[in-house]
Amino acid sequence: MWRGLWTLVARAARGPRSPRPCTRQGSGVPVPGSGTTIFALSSGHGRCGIAVIRTSGPASGHALRSLTAPRDLPPARSACLRLLSHPRSGEPLDRALVLWFPGPQSFTGEDCAEFHVHGGPAVVSGVLQALGSVPGLRPAEAGEFTRRAFAHGKLSLTEVEGLADLIHAETEAQRRQALRQLDGELGHLCHGWAGTLTKALAHVEAYIDFGEDDNLEEGVLEQANSEVRELQLALGAHLRDARRGQRLRSGAHVVVAGPPNAGKSSLVNLLSRKPVSIVSPEPGTTRDVLETPVDLAGFPALLSDTAGLREGAGPVEQEGVRRARERLEQADLILAVLDASDLASPSSRNFLDTVVAPAGAGSPNGNSQRLLLVLNKSDLLPPGGPDPSPNLRPHLLLSCLTGEGLDGLLEALRKELAEVCGDPSTGPPLLTRARHQHHLQGCLDALGHYTQTKDLALAAEALRLARGHLARITGGGGTEEILDIIFRDFCVGK
C-alpha cells in the first residue's frame, strides 16, 4: 500500500543527485518548486511555548498580508508583533511574531515568511488552516523546504549528501503518522474511494486504449461516469463534515509489547500512575489495545497496552494479538517487556526474534524502530542478574512490584522521546489532517473537471489527477495497477 509513496520518495531523493536528462522540458512537465507556495509547522512537536510555521514560495508575501490584514508587510528580516486572523472569516487566531524574508536572501532562496505563534494545538491548527485557505498555498511534502533550498543553490553539495536520508527519515515519520490517522473510519473511507476511483480510471483507460476495435461491454464509460458522480457526492459530504469525528491523537506513540504475562499492564499502570489495565497472574488478561495519554518524562505520549503476543489462543485473544501487532507497526517507540526470570521460554525467545531483533537491526529498507528492552520482575532474579545471554541487546532491569529501576527507565524514556519529538518534521497529526483535507479537496476538484470535459483524453487526465491526490493518502496508483484491472475486467486484444 505504501509502494507508491516510496517510489515518490525515491524519485525525490534521486532527483538532485542524478538529474535525469530533461533538458527539454517544453512539454508541460511540472518543474518542482515552481509556482506553488508551501507551508508547514517547522518547530518541534512536544511541549513548547512557541511554534514556528513557515511558508516558502511566491505567494508568501500575499499569505503574510492575508493573515495580518490590514497591516502591510513588515520590514525584511526583522521581527514584528502582529495580530493573526483568518483571511476569510476575520476570526482572530493569535498575537504572533512574524518575519518576512524576501528571496533570494532566505533559507530556500524563495520568498519566505515565518509565524512564531503560541504553541497550543488549537492555535497551530487554526493558523495552518488559515494558510491552507489562501489561494496558491498547499501543505509541504516531506523534505520539500530542503529540496527547494537545494534547487536554489542554498545548500552546498556536502549538505545535499544528507538530503536523501533526511527525506527518507521525514517520510518514514509521516508514513507512521499517516498510518495512525488512517487506522479507523477515515482509512476505510479513503481506501474505498481510492478503489472506486482506480476502477473508474481503469475503465476509462480501457475505453481509450481498447474501445475502438476491441469489444468492451456496452456502457463502460457510463458506469465509470456514475461511479465518479457517487464519489463526488461522498467526498463533498465528507469534506463538509471534516472537522468532526476524528479523534486527536497527539503525542508520541509508545507501545508496550511482550509475551503474555511479562508484566506489560503492570508497567502501563506504573507509568500512568493509575490502574488503566487489569492485572492478574493469568496469561492473556489484556485482550484489546488500551490507550492512555500520559506525561512521560515531560513529553506528551500516548501509552498503549497490548495483548501478549502468542499463537494458538482463542479467537478473541488472537484478534487482540493482531491488533497488538498492528499497533507495533505504528509505534514511535516500543517498550518491549520480558519476564527477566523467564528469558529462555519459547514465548520470550520468539518475541526476541520477531520483534526485538528486527527493530534493532533495521528493516530491509533501512527504517529501524526505536525500542527499549525492559526486563521486568527483577525481584524474582537470584542475586547477580539474569542468565548472561550473549545475544541480548542492552536492556533495563525493572521490578514493577518494588519500583526498583523505575528511575533508570524514566531517564532512558526521556532520551528516546527527546529524539522522537525533537524531529521537526514529525509534526502534529493536525498537519497530517490538513494534508488529507488538501488532497481530498484536490481530488474533488479534479473529479469536477472530469465531468465537465468533453475531450476524453483531457477528462481521463483529470481522473488521473484525482487518483494522484488520493494516492498521496492511500499510496498506490501506478500504471500496473490500472493495467491489472483492465485485463481482469475486459477481454481485450486480438
Partner 1 sequence: MFSLRNCGLWVAASLTKKRLTLARFSGDSAAPLATKFDVIVIGGGHAGTEAAAAAARCGSRTLLLTHRVDTIGQMSCNPSFGGIGKGHLMREVDALDGLCSRICDQSGVHYKVLNRRKGPAVWGLRAQIDRKLYKQNMQKEILNTPLLTVQEGAVEDLILTEPEPEYTGKCRVSGVVLADGSTVHAESVVLTTGTFLRGVIVIGLEMHPAGRLGDQPSIGLAHTLEKLGFVVGRLKTGTPPRIAKESINFSILNKQTPDNPSIPFSFISETVWIKPEDQLPCYLTHTNPKVDEIVLENLHLNSHIKETTRGPRYCPSIESKVLRFPNRLHQVWLEPEGMDSDLIYPQGLSVTLPAELQEKMITCIKGLEKAKMIQPGYGVQYDYLDPRQITPSLETHLVQRLFFAGQINGTTGYEEAAAQGVIAGINASLRVKRKPPFVVSRTEGYIGVLIDDLTTLGTNEPYRMFTSRAEFRLSLRPDNADSRLTFRGYKEVGCVSQQRYERASWMKSSLEEGISVLKSIEFSSSKWKKLIPEASISIGKSLPLSHL
Binding site for partner 1 (CB under 8 A): 20-22, 24-25, 27-30, 135, 205, 208-215, 442, 445-446, 449, 452, 455-458, 460-462, 464-465, 479, 482-483, 486-487, 491-494
Q: Minimum distance from CB of 145 to partner 1 (Å)?
A: 23
Helix (H) or strand (E) holding 50: strand 50-56
Q: Minimum distance from CB of 295 to partner 1 (Å)?
A: 45
Instruction: Select 5 or 98, whichever has its Cβ closest to partner 1.
Output: 5
Pairwise CA distance, residues 294 & 302, whole Å = 6
- The answer to whether 110 and 151 are in contact (CB under 8 A) is no
Instruction: Select 124 or 486, whichever has its Cβ closest to partner 1.
Output: 486
Instruction: Select 59 or 430, whichever has its Cβ closest to partner 1.
Output: 59
Q: Minimum distance from CB of 211 to partner 1 (Å)?
A: 7
- Reference 487, options 202, 188, 113; nearest CA is 202
Q: Minimum distance from CB of 221 to partner 1 (Å)?
A: 10
Q: Minimum distance from CB of 142 to partner 1 (Å)?
A: 21
Helix ranges restricted to H, 247-294: 264-272
Who contacts 190 (Cβ-Cβ below 8 Å, separation ≥6)? 182, 436, 470, 473, 474
Q: Minimum distance from CB of 481 to partner 1 (Å)?
A: 11
Q: Count other Cβ atoms within 10 Å, centred on residue 211.
A: 18
Instruction: Select 361 or 456, whichever has its Cβ closest to partner 1.
Output: 456
- The answer to whether 204 and 463 are in contact (CB under 8 A) is yes
Sheet of 290-296, strands arranged across: 290-296, 299-305, 252-257, 333-339, 370-376, 396-397
Instruction: Select 59 or 182, whichever has its Cβ closest to partner 1.
Output: 59
Instruction: Select 357 or 458, whichever has its Cβ closest to partner 1.
Output: 458
* DSSP-derived 3-state class of residue 338: strand
Q: Minimum distance from CB of 453 to partner 1 (Å)?
A: 8
Instruction: Select 119 or 448, whichever has its Cβ closest to partner 1.
Output: 448
CA atoms within 13 A on the CB side of 344: 6
Instruction: Select 395 or 449, whichever has its Cβ closest to partner 1.
Output: 449
Cis peptide before 70 (omega within 30 of 0): yes
Q: Minimum distance from CB of 447 to partner 1 (Å)?
A: 11
- Reference 435, options 471, 459, 395, 387; nearest CA is 471
Q: Minimum distance from CB of 486 to partner 1 (Å)?
A: 8
- Joined together, the cell numbers standing for residue 386 give 539474569
Instruction: Select 414 or 449, whichever has its Cβ closest to partner 1.
Output: 449
Question: What amino acid occupies position 355?
Answer: V
Pairwise CA distance, residues 469 & 474, whole Å = 9
- Reference 260, options 348, 184, 367; nearest CA is 348
Pairwise CA distance, residues 326 & 183, whole Å = 9
Q: Minimum distance from CB of 168 to partner 1 (Å)?
A: 19
Pairing of strands 137-139, 290-296: unpaired
Instruction: Select 36 or 318, whichever has its Cβ closest to partner 1.
Output: 36
Pairwise CA distance, residues 406 & 379, whole Å = 13
Pairwise CA distance, residues 84 & 373, whole Å = 46
